[in-house]
Structure 1
Amino acid sequence: MFSFHHTIRRRLNAFTWAFAGFVATVAAVQAVPNRVTVAWDPNPEPDIAGYRVYYGIVGSGVTNMVSPGTTTQQQVINLLPQTQYWFCVTAYNTAALESDPSQVLTYTTPANLPPVLSISGSRLAIVPGTVSLTGSATDDHLLPGALGYSWQKTAGPAVSGLTGTTTPTASMTVNAPGSYSFSLTVTDGVNQSSAVVNLQAIQRLETPPPGSVVPNITTSFQSFDGLVLGWDSAPNVSYIVAFKDALDDPTWRILDEDVPSTGSTTFWVDEVGGQGQQGFYGIFQKP
């Protein structure tokens, strides 16, 4: 079943065939960019064998024909967007006699809009681990299964086992901590849309990170870039930022293993922080 974005209703003068009472009238046209449904009033004669729909691009000199049998509507597919087409209908009887055509109805198909795209999937990975990203798209020109998909890694360390790059869902194994970016492009053959998803991969430790803990996280606030942490720091040293799910959890996840000091206070931004995760941050001075 197709949904129609635009509807034109226009009643044309009935046309009469060579013998009395043979009438067909184009009643309506409904269209989306590449599909049009033409409907008409049925003929009253008992010997009607069927109808034929003729159409073409205005000015092209090319005529196409489809026959729906005895039904009084026909969907015409694979039309070009933003193109003016003409349509008319004839009827034929059991003696294979065909009527004159109805009056011609013209219609300009709408513009083809780019696909509407969204991406779902994990934005946080623990290395080594498998990550799946799924894109979904809708289009006014094609059904979702007919769209073309293309995934690419645009930033970050190398990944392995990247599969599904031409399908809605791409999967890969992330082996190294860091920031990754993946882009998805969806095309309907005429227009395309692209979206980028960022992934943060972190390393899980079974013991606390080396170095001495810095007890004072003096600042934390949410910004447009993520959760900002600030702590008392010494000059010319570097820090490890780690995270764990519970206070008594012995397992830390390294979020950043080398944060240089910026003076008496050092700031760091967790780009995925504040997005529903709960836990505890730890700042460790590197030995």
Structure 2
Amino acid sequence: MSVLFFLFLLLFVPYSCLAATVTLAWDPSPDTDLAGYRIYYQANNSDLPFQGTGAVEGNAPVDGGNVTVASISGLDPANAYYFAVTAYNSSGQESVYSNVVQIPETLPPLVSITSPADNASVATTLAISAAATDNVGVAKVQFLVNGTPVYETSAVPYTYTWNAAALPAGSYTIAARAIDLSGNAAVSKAVNVSVVGDVISPTVSLAVPPPDASVAGTINVSAAASDNLGISKLELSIDGTLLLSSNQSPVSYIWNTANFANGSHVISARAYDAAGNSGVASATVVVDNGTSQTASTPPSTTTSTSTSTEAAPLTLADAQLALLIASGQQSPTIDQVQRLDLAPYLNGQPAPNGKVDTGDVVVILAKLTGKL
């Protein structure tokens, strides 16, 4: 008797009592004298013949009667199993083995968070550690924050440095998921962590003329900031009016005092971090451009834009500022556009186009080097 047919796996279910059930189905044998089928199984070895033991239904082979579905239960999920089916007739003759089906072990890993302890608190960063073991080997460990994977590693020891500094204050759950070489996964018991939130404000420094100093014409104002997390925004203002906003530090601004009334003016710099904390520095200067201040009246030979632009000699700081604006790293103020918008440069005169771009950088550098 030599009947070939195919064996198909339907279901493999592990149970918490460390036993598993495999349900198999196969194509019927066309033998008219078919008497039944025998199910063969064996753990961790594909050598024929299969001589498995330990199933509730008995040692291999298990008689399956003349139906084409059978379940083998009580198997150890820590083992991989191989299955095949044969057919036999009324004379006891038996067919060759069907195709062999391999079922990998289904025992999940053991995984736990070893650090931090439950109800720990964190202000900036937190070292997280996990332990994981498995009967066939751990492939990788994932760290989960509020159920979402944030880091994955296959290297022992399983550790992760969680940066919680920019997170809102509150309670977070941390867990680890271990995946073994067979693809089985298990998630550890979660630990609760309290995030304090960043409360450290940025430190700001402002470089301006000495307090209450008298200034005139064009002066350079610069500011720098630092923070434990990093600066997200740095602003320069005069008398509460925003002149410059950048995500870079330091920043500088060419202040044309001729556009401001004589008298005291407050220059301030404010920096923000990712958590919304801010720090500020300010200074008071006195503008004194004399009694004949006429900066608001433009010359008749050019537009008001080019007048304010060329009111004071250009400097290398102007070229640097124009490059920051042209590259999109800084948003210009109206005063900056008026001063730096020189291109195109036609017939020896600027023809502003209403924006600061790389053409303006070229013109400013040409003026500084005496080529215009």
TM-score (structure 1 length as normaliser): 0.32
Flag the structure with larger Rg.
2
Identify, as 1 or 2, the structure richer in strand.
Answer: 1
TM-score (structure 2 length as normaliser): 0.26
Identify, as 1 or 2, the structure richer in helix.
Answer: 2
